């Protein structure tokens, strides 16, 4: 998405991939209450631990995208996998996407010493801007998810107008109601 | 319980929640998670206590002055009445075997949604108010006193359990946390604190016989609309019998099948099947609901609503009852009906008039599941089927919680699907049969306002669907439950939008070759079947 990463910096980030992503995973787990964080770490089965497995399946390739030449569609799909779940959980929007920005501090702690020594500060700041871009893209994904939740909510209510109106005849809804439903949708969109 | 954030709190984007004892973590009631409160008039209709207007976000919930006494007396009464409840309060050793088995915990990450913790909300009151150790030692013995905040917390989490019983499968002591929820909800109902999505169907069912309050003529009209569609798509004119005295069989199904997509296509499947067989049966516009939201309110309310089924069977003079694709209806039928309102000695042990099969498993309640009935027909070669009509579908099967864990219905729906579809793929072993994951919206939580909760709860199921979608291209999730059919489309739309939802009888209807049918280029939804345009009539049919 952004510029091509400085070769030396990229080599260091590749070498440190293991510890960085593991710390990142731990940080994301810890965004849940302690009992949950333990479970997310412990349970390896994909179907017994959907949150943990989606984190695991997202963060490694996301890191590759970050230090490689990121493909926007792939990156967005991976971010979706990470953020879609958080978008319906007990997180504020900031907390939901902060897991991306958290990567900055983790990487700084791992590599900044070397970066400073070799004088790659400018290159490193450019790399951090790439993390920002990932974070902003994550916010796009978060909003898409929230919009989808509201769309589903709206559709759910639109399907049930007899309850909203306190007793519209369902049989009326059945046959003639499709047109009625479209009209209602149109009215709501207009207002 | 809830409050606005201060500016300082707003800036604190904390990645690590505090590590404190669960009793010290206050519960914050959030929109998107709870359902709207019951309308007073709907509480009043069935004569339940304290009908009033209130909001979960208000400090004052309009509790009567003696609410605490009422709660504790109600709890004492139930501890004496239900031996199981008393045992479940006493024997849990908090081993944690159930902790990570709940779809709400797996989808929300909220530790209070661990079944052990949810039950602990009530168990702590039991210890704190009813046991000597708890009264003296308090928190040291895991006890606490009942306060308004505690009551609100119990309310919030009793409506974050779908009574699916997956956790009970893993408990080494056999504790059924769903029963703790059932009692918890009964206690909540002592002060008029039900949710409207449960209370209104209860009131409607009590007044008119079904959750939607469909009056007899409307119910009949809706079924007839489906007949019009069948005539259009299949070319067969069906005139279903209603309230016909002297019929051999009474057919009862959830009213969701009568009006809601995609349940209506399942209903078309039933109608076609019965017509094809020339079955001597009747619909009833009075026992027009298989579901029983009374079961999510209080057991005596479940009993009152359930009574109409046997009463109607008696009035019409039928021999036995056939039940449609429903979830909790089957738990009530299988585990409660006979003692609620039976034994129904006026009925006979069900025997299929087509195959002569005696349904000994239903000899007590006298009610047979449509999947048992259909599977038996297929086994005896009584149906002419063309599974190619379902070839555009790659189907998986979601075991609905109640038919699977509540009555052991595993093989029949699969047997049917394998005979009416050529592409069937199972989801992973630890997500089906006894271990099936709930749709996330059962037990009366299928409202719209609690969508975030529903989507959280639906994640484990959707996660397994996503797997078979990605691996095999599955595009249809079949099930035998009306709530599943109503709620899984929303869950799929969020988690796996490529997958649709249907009932098993819809697949049967699509594949069923009926005498006198015209060319059928479309399925029961009126959608074109690929490869079945006009020249399709020469398709090979499969006799089974």
Q: Please tell me the distance from the alpha carbon of residue B406 to that of residue B240, in angstroms, as a whole number.
A: 31
61-90 of A, contacting B, C-beta below 8 A? 84-85, 88-90
Most A-contacting residue of B2, B6, B13 (CB-CB within 10 A), to test interface: B13
| One domain, residues A163 and A123 | no
Q: What burial class does residue B232 get, using C-beta atoms within 10 Å of its C-beta: 0-12 exposed, 13-18 middle, 19+ buried?
A: exposed
A169 contacts in chain B (CB < 8 Å): 218
Question: Is the residue at A88 inside a domain?
Answer: yes
Q: What is the pLDDT along chain B (544 residues), one digit of tens a residue?
A: 445 556 666 556 666 677 788 888 889 999 999 999 999 999 999 999 999 999 999 999 999 999 999 999 999 999 999 999 999 999 999 899 999 999 999 999 999 999 999 999 999 999 999 999 989 998 998 999 999 999 999 999 999 999 999 999 999 999 999 999 999 999 999 999 999 999 999 999 999 999 888 899 989 999 999 999 999 999 999 999 999 999 999 999 999 899 888 999 999 999 999 999 999 999 999 999 999 999 999 999 999 999 999 999 999 999 999 999 999 999 999 999 999 998 999 999 999 999 999 999 999 999 999 999 999 999 999 999 999 999 999 999 999 999 999 999 999 999 999 999 999 999 999 999 999 999 999 999 999 999 999 999 999 999 999 999 999 999 999 999 999 999 999 999 999 999 999 999 999 999 999 999 999 999 999 999 998 876 544 555 555 5
Q: Please tell me the distance from the alpha carbon of residue B187 to that of residue B9, in angstroms, as a whole number.
A: 36
Q: What burial class does residue B9 get, using C-beta atoms within 10 Å of its C-beta: 0-12 exposed, 13-18 middle, 19+ buried?
A: exposed
| One domain, residues A123 and A171 | no
- Nearest Cα of chain A lies from the Cα of B308 at a distance, in angstroms, of 22
Most B-contacting residue of A39, A47, A135, A153 (CB-CB within 10 A), to test interface: A47
CB contact under 8 A, A157 and B14: no
pLDDT reported for residue A160:
65
CB contact under 8 A, B15 and A49: no
| One domain, residues A126 and A105 | yes
Question: Is the residue at A120 inside a domain?
Answer: yes
A101 contacts in chain B (CB < 8 Å): none
- Residue A171 in contact with partner chain B when CB distance is under 8 A: yes
pLDDT reported for residue B9:
62
- Residue A105 in contact with partner chain B when CB distance is under 8 A: no
Q: Please tell me the distance from the alpha carbon of residue B393 to that of residue B337, in angstroms, as a whole number.
A: 37
Angle among Cα B386, B390, B392 to the nearest 5 degrees reads 140
Looking at the DSSP bridge assignments, the partners of residue B542 are B385
CB B482 within 8 A of CB B256: yes
A152 contacts in chain B (CB < 8 Å): 451, 455, 490, 493-494
CB contact under 8 A, A34 and B17: yes
Closest Cα in chain B to A90? B108
Q: What burial class does residue B368 get, using C-beta atoms within 10 Å of its C-beta: 0-12 exposed, 13-18 middle, 19+ buried?
A: buried
Residue among B365, B412, B339, B331 nearest B162 (CA): B331
| One domain, residues A128 and A172 | no
CB contact under 8 A, A170 and B110: no
Domain of A168, in residue numbers: 159-190
Select the residue of B111, B452, B464 nearest A36 (Cβ to Cβ).
B111
| One domain, residues A109 and A167 | no
Angle among Cα A185, A188, A189 to the nearest 5 degrees reads 85
| One domain, residues A177 and A99 | no
Question: Is the residue at A101 inside a domain?
Answer: yes
CB contact under 8 A, A30 and B16: yes
CA B368 to chain centroid: 18
Question: Is the residue at A152 inside a domain?
Answer: no
- Residue A43 in contact with partner chain B when CB distance is under 8 A: yes
| One domain, residues A128 and A173 | no
A159 contacts in chain B (CB < 8 Å): 260-261
| One domain, residues A167 and A88 | no
pLDDT tens readout for residues A103-155: 999 999 999 999 999 999 999 999 999 999 999 999 999 999 999 999 999 88
| One domain, residues A49 and A84 | yes
CB contact under 8 A, A156 and B448: yes
Select the residue of B19, B213, B463 nearest A47 (Cβ to Cβ).
B463
Calculated CA dihedral for residues B330, B335, B339, B345, nearest 10 degrees: 60
CB contact under 8 A, B100 and A48: yes
Sketch the domain layout of chain B as residue ranges. 7-30+49-193, 201-543
Closest Cα in chain B to A34? B19
Structure tokens at A67: 């230090």
Question: Is the residue at A153 inside a domain?
Answer: no
Say what the ipTM of the complex is.
0.91
- Map tokens 């990121």 to a residue: A70
pLDDT reported for residue B499:
98
- Residue A165 in contact with partner chain B when CB distance is under 8 A: no
CB contact under 8 A, B464 and A47: yes
Structure tokens at A140: 């796009």
Question: Is the residue at A110 inside a domain?
Answer: yes
Select the residue of B15, B222, B455 nearest A174 (Cβ to Cβ).
B222
CA B424 to chain centroid: 24
* Domains contained in chain A, number: 2
| One domain, residues A139 and A165 | no
Question: Is the residue at A1 inside a domain?
Answer: no
CA B324 to chain centroid: 13
Q: Please tell me the distance from the alpha carbon of residue A79 to that of residue A87, in angstroms, as a whole number.
A: 12
pTM value?
0.92
Angle among Cα B56, B57, B63 to the nearest 5 degrees reads 45
pLDDT tens readout for residues A88-111: 999 999 999 999 999 999 999 999
């Amino acid at each position: 998405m952004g510029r091509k990463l400085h070769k030396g910096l990229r080599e260091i980030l590749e070498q440190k991939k293991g510890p960085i992503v593991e710390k990142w995973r731990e940080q994301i787990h810890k965004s849940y209450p302690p009992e949950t964080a333990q479970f997310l770490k412990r349970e390896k089965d994909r179907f017994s631990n959907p949150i943990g497995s989606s984190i695991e399946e997202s963060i490694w390739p996301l890191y590759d995208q970050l230090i490689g030449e990121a493909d926007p569609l792939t990156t967005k799909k991976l971010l979706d996998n990470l953020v879609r779940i958080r978008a319906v959980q007990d997180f504020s929007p900031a907390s939901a996407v902060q897991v991306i920005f958290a990567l900055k501090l983790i990487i700084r702690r791992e590599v900044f010493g070397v970066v400073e020594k070799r004088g790659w500060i400018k290159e490193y700041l450019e790399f951090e801007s790439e993390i920002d871009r990932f974070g902003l893209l994550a916010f796009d994904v978060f909003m898409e998810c929230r919009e989808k939740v509201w769309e589903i909510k709206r559709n759910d209510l639109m399907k049930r107008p007899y309850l909203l109106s306190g007793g519209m005849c369902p049989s009326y809804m059945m046959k003639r109601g499709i047109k009625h439903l479209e009209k209602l949708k149109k009215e709501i969109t207009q207002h | 319980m809830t409050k606005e954030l201060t500016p300082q709190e707003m800036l604190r984007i904390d990645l690590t929640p505090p590590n404190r004892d669960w009793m010290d973590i206050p519960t914050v009631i959030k929109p998107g998670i709870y359902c709207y409160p019951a309308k007073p008039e709907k509480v009043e209709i069935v004569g339940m206590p304290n009908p009033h207007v209130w909001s979960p976000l208000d400090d004052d919930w309009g509790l009567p002055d003696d609410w605490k006494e009422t709660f504790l007396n109600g709890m004492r009464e139930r501890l004496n009445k239900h031996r199981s409840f008393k045992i479940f309060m006493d024997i849990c050793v908090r081993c944690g075997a159930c902790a990570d088995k709940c779809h709400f915990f797996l989808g929300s990450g909220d530790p209070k949604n661990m079944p052990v913790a949810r039950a602990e909300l009530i168990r702590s009151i039991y210890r704190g108010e009813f046991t000597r150790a708890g009264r003296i030692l308090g928190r040291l013995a895991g006890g606490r006193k009942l306060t308004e905040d505690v009551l609100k917390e119990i309310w919030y989490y009793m409506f974050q359990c779908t009574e699916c019983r997956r956790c009970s499968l893993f408990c080494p002591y056999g504790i059924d946390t769903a029963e703790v929820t059932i009692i918890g909800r009964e206690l909540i109902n002592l002060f008029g604190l039900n949710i409207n999505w449960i209370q209104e169907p209860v009131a409607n069912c009590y007044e008119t016989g079904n959750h939607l309050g469909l009056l007899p003529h409307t119910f009949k009209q809706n079924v007839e609309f489906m007949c019009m569609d069948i005539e259009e798509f299949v070319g067969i004119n069906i005139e279903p019998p209603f309230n016909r005295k002297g019929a051999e069989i009474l057919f009862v199904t959830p009213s969701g099948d009568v009006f809601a997509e995609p349940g209506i296509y399942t209903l078309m499947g039933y109608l076609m099947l019965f017509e094809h067989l020339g079955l001597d049966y009747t619909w009833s516009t009075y026992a027009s609901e298989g579901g029983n939201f009374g079961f999510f309110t209080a057991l005596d309310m479940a009993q009152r609503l359930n009574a109409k089924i046997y009463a109607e069977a008696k009035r019409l003079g039928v021999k036995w009852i056939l039940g449609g694709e429903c979830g909790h209806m089957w738990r009530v039928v299988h585990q409660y009906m006979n003692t609620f309102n039976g034994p129904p000695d006026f009925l006979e042990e069900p025997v299929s008039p087509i195959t002569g099969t005696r349904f000994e498993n239903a000899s007590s309640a006298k009610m047979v599941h449509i999947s048992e009935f259909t599977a038996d027909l297929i086994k005896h070669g009584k149906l002419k089927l063309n599974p190619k009509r379902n070839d555009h579908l790659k189907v998986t099967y979601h075991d609905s919680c109640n038919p699977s864990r509540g009555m052991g219905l595993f093989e029949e729906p699969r047997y049917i699907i394998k005979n009416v579809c050529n592409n069937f793929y199972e989801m992973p072993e630890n997500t089906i049969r006894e271990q099936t994951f709930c749709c996330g919206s059962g037990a009366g939580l299928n409202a719209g306002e609690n969508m975030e909760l529903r989507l959280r709860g639906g994640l484990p199921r959707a996660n397994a669907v996503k797997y078979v979608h990605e691996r095999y291209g599955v595009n249809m999730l079949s099930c035998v439950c009306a709530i599943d059919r109503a709620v899984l489309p929303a869950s799929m739309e969020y988690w796996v939008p490529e997958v649709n939802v249907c009932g098993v009888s819809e697949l049967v209807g699509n594949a069923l070759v009926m005498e006198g049918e015209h060319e059928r280029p479309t399925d029961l939804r009126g959608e074109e079947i690929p490869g079945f345009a006009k020249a399709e009539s020469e398709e090979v049919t499969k006799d089974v």
